Amino acid sequence: MTERTVKTDEVTPGQGGYVSGARVLAVGVGATGLLTFVYFSLSSHLLSATAYGQLSVLWAALFIVISVIYRPIEQLLSRTIADRRARGAHGNHPLRGPMLIQLGFALAFLVVAIVLKPEIEELFGGSESLYLIFVGATLAYAASYFARGYFAGHQWFVLYGGLMLFESSARVCFPLAVLVGITSGQDAIALGIFAAPLASLVVVPWAIARHSRLDRDAPVVEVSSVVGTGVGFAGSVAVIQLGEQTLLNAGVLVADSVAGAATAGAVFSVLLITRAPLQLFQSIQTTLLPHLTGLEATEGGEEFSHAIKITVRAIAVFAGFSALLMLLIGPSLMQLFFGDDTIFGRWGLAAVAVGMGFHLAAGTLNQAALARGRARAASIIWMLVALGFVGWMFVPLISSALLRAELGYPTATAILCALLYVLYRQPPLADAELVPARRSVEDVIEGSGGIILTEDR
């Protein structure tokens, strides 16, 4: 086994850089979470319970799909670029492989969406407009998630947060337009979901031209080598994302199927307690993967564990405060933000807040698993827990689908967090799944995840 690289001032990603990066990104992503909350709060007041429920189903379906097919490439780019930079390769990062994978996912989605058009429209209450928004937004988000991975790997956190803030700002303009009387109706509000990622179509080419281009004279590796370790990692992350989005959205979709769109909207609203903090802490998790990858490549276990402890402690404090807030004034807040169509119990809201804490901690431990080459094991854990949650939502032991979600979500996330902690306690895998330390840029390229298409000179 190749020995780890000796720590140097040039390649060591310091703790200060991680913390400052997380702080910078938290501003943009925190504002994004707030604007997303405002978007749905306004929508709930402007639309009927059924129309709001259909909008919630659209959002749930959209983010299940884009998280599964695009977030893996974001994580793949972030991990690979961060690893190369930690080992001294600061330029000429390989992009063609991830682009091919991203394009393949997008085309596969488009084919499936066309074939299943009647079934998807039925999911949205027979609305062709919502179907078109769903398809268009899914395709447009390909550019956004590619840019996020590129920015995160380079630790360009201001650009990352700015991209998300711009998208959420564009989205919230549409219910505001309905509020002031410029336009009206469900379709007008839903168009914001499609408009948000369109700006990303401009950002990605600019980002590529800004910092990295492939060596035109370098030999090109066969595409089959691209679809190797890189696709294996991306595939595992895709399963992880499917598991996470199932925890967030299965309750909405199951409620829609067994109790109708209005109940689905209520489940969606209560899970916004989780969604908004998840967006905020995504800033920390975004900085965490490249940071942990760099630590694993250069410094080893002590600094690695320190970064995890800092993050989990912050999560515990935040989750405890959120649960207390829900116990004290949770029902009043929900009525203020989402109207009085549904009465929310304070204990159910507090339980969801506790589940949010477990979910955030699980996400942190998951980043540790990815950085240590244990993506496959993590993906199995996520899917087992997600399937258990779906099964719980379908079992009518509790008549209320809303209460089932409020109890099932924290239970599932607690189990998830415990299993990922057990995985975290395991040692890193051997060099077969971690990119080993190498002395030359050429050697770094050969071992950087199987997605390299050119060789640095």
Q: Model confidence over 29-82: pLDDT tens digits?
A: 777 778 888 999 999 999 998 999 999 999 999 988 998 888 888 877 877 777
What phi and psi values does residue 254 have, to the nearest 5 degrees? -65, -40
Enumerate residues 6+ apart whose C-beta is below 8 A from 160: 25, 28, 29, 148, 151, 152, 286
Domain-embedded: residue 232: yes
Domain-embedded: residue 457: no
pLDDT of residue 20: 57
Q: Tell me how far CA of residue 333 lies from CA of 326, 330, 339, in angstroms.
A: 8, 5, 9
For the chain, report the end-to-end CA distance as a whole number of angstroms: 26
Q: How many domains, in total, are found in the chain?
A: 1
* Nearest partner of 239 among 67, 367, 78, judged by Cα: 67
Q: CB–CB of 72/238 below 8 Å?
A: yes
* pTM as predicted: 0.72
- Cα torsion at 64, 66, 68, 74 (round to 10°)? -140
Q: CB–CB of 80/436 below 8 Å?
A: no
pLDDT in tens, 354-372: 999 999 999 889 888 877 7
Q: Which one has a higher pLDDT value, 278 or 421?
A: 421
Q: CB–CB of 70/145 below 8 Å?
A: yes
pLDDT of residue 272: 86
Q: What is the DSSP letter of 452?
A: -
Domain-embedded: residue 8: no
pLDDT of residue 442: 31
State the amino acid at position 192 in one-letter form.
G
C-alpha to C-alpha distance for 371 and 369, rounded to whole angstroms: 5
Please count the other Cβ atoms lying within 10 Å of the Cβ belonging to residue 337.
Answer: 16
pLDDT of residue 339: 78
Domain coverage including residue 163: 15-446
pLDDT in tens, 69-78: 888 888 778 7
Domain-embedded: residue 455: no
pLDDT in tens, 226-285: 334 566 777 888 888 899 889 988 889 999 888 888 888 989 989 888 887 776 666 566
| Encoded tokens for 412 | 């599932």
Residue 159: band (very low, low, confident or very high) from pLDDT cuts 50, 70, 90: confident
pLDDT in tens, 291-300: 666 665 555 5
C-alpha to C-alpha distance for 142 and 440, rounded to whole angstroms: 33
| Encoded tokens for 263 | 């109940």
Domain-embedded: residue 452: no
Domain-embedded: residue 49: yes
Domain-embedded: residue 155: yes
pLDDT of residue 230: 60
Enumerate residues 6+ apart whose C-beta is below 8 A from 297: 4, 5, 11, 83, 86, 87, 435, 437
pLDDT in tens, 299-334: 556 767 777 888 888 889 989 999 999 999 999 988
Whole-number average pLDDT of the chain: 78
C-alpha to C-alpha distance for 371 and 354, rounded to whole angstroms: 26
pLDDT of residue 329: 93
* Residue keyed to tokens 């060099």: 431
Instruction: Report the interhelical angle of 15-46 vs 49-69 (nearest 10°).
Output: 150
Residue 156: band (very low, low, confident or very high) from pLDDT cuts 50, 70, 90: confident
* Residue keyed to tokens 């942990």: 292
* Nearest partner of 431 among 451, 420, 446, judged by Cα: 446
What phi and psi values does residue 341 have, to the nearest 5 degrees? -65, -30
Report the pLDDT averaged over residues 145-171: 81
- DSSP letters, 272-315, are HHHHHHHHHHHHHHHHHHHHHHHHHHHT-HHHHHHHHHHHHHHH
C-alpha to C-alpha distance for 383 and 376, rounded to whole angstroms: 11
State the amino acid at position 428 in one-letter form.
P
Domain-embedded: residue 271: yes
Q: Which one has a higher pLDDT value, 98 or 392?
A: 392
